[in-house]
Amino acid sequence: MEESSCKKWHPTLADPTGCRQSKPRALGKTMVMDKGLGLNAYDDLLQAAGEHVDYIKLGFGTSPLYPRELLRHKIERAKALGIDVYPGGTFLEVAVQEGLISSYFDTVAALGFTCVEISDGTIELDRSLRSELIVRGIEAGLKVITEYGKKCWGSSVEAEALVATVTGDVEMGAELVTIEARESGMGVGIFDENGACKDEELNGVLRSVPSPDILLWEAPLKNQQIHLLELLGPDVHLGNVAPADVIALEALRRGLRSDTFHFGERLRKSARKEGIEVHAD
């Protein structure tokens, strides 16, 4: 074996599943929540794990609290690596509450953000205003990610409301609909007070939507990520991932961790069953 060939991991060792898409990918997107990283920590994140990050959300209303040059640096560094970056939806809710919607969208676009998140986790948005905000985002040249669910403790998923929200948002042009779980992952949405998944509610969501591929699940805890990967496969969209957990999550997706070690063999068996040739080299 030539020396040069030893300097790169064999493709099967890098991804035993053989299924991980490279960026820009349509499936298996990872959203990282930045709750206040400094310059060095942020650059370290992108240097070490930028290849595995699809979205960075500057959590809740933190965006105006950074020095302007640091904020611009975060945005531009993410964009240079093909990562979409956006302010948290709560910040837009503040703009709605204060009657500053136009100012919000103008500044988001001027700063170079590539996305906007539209949510009503704290306030109430009627369908008309929610649709208007989606259109405003698209007209500003931004990708739109919406969010379903309330942030209050004990909130749950209501199937009828979810269907109406997802259907309406996608029709208006939303790229993905996020299922709320906050940064704690406890006592909200499909997770109970201990952070365990309420499978009945999860299955209710899956029965209600036309495709799971339009959903991005907030899942900040390892056990939640494993559970959703087991149920929905390595290509599930996951969000509110802590910066320090990005590579660990990518290892889970690829079957490079004990918890999901079986992913590689499972997908190979599936490929063989469907008559797809699987090469060892």
pLDDT tens track for 211-247: 889 999 999 999 999 999 999 999 999 999 999 999 9
Flag whether 1 is in a domain.
Answer: no
SS3 (DSSP) at 146: strand
8 Å CB contact between 39 and 31 = no
pLDDT of residue 38: 97
Q: How far apart are CA 72 and CA 116, in angstroms?
A: 16
Flag whether 281 is in a domain.
Answer: no
Count Cβ atoms within 10 A of the Cβ of residue 157 and give its class: 0-12 exposed, 13-18 middle, 19 or more buried: buried
Q: Give the residue ranges of the chain where pLDDT is below 70.
A: 1-5, 150-157, 183, 266-281
CA 104 to centroid of chain Cα atoms: 22
pLDDT of residue 265: 78
Flag whether 146 is in a domain.
Answer: yes
8 Å CB contact between 250 and 52 = yes
User: Number of folded domains in the chain?
Assistant: 1
Q: H-type helices in the chain, by residue range? A: 11-14, 39-49, 68-80, 89-97, 101-111, 127-139, 159-172, 199-208, 222-232, 246-254, 263-273
Q: How far apart are CA 29 and CA 234, in angstroms?
A: 10
CA diameter of the chain: 66
Flag whether 208 is in a domain.
Answer: yes
For 202, list phi and psi in degrees, rounded to 5. -60, -50
Flag whether 4 is in a domain.
Answer: no
pLDDT of residue 180: 81
pLDDT of residue 52: 98
DSSP 39: H
Flag whether 278 is in a domain.
Answer: no
pLDDT of residue 229: 96
Q: How far apart are CA 50 and CA 222, in angstroms?
A: 20
Expressed as residue numbers, the domain containing 231 is 24-273
DSSP 204: H
pLDDT of residue 206: 87
Please report, for the domain that includes residue 183, its CATH number: 3.20.20.70
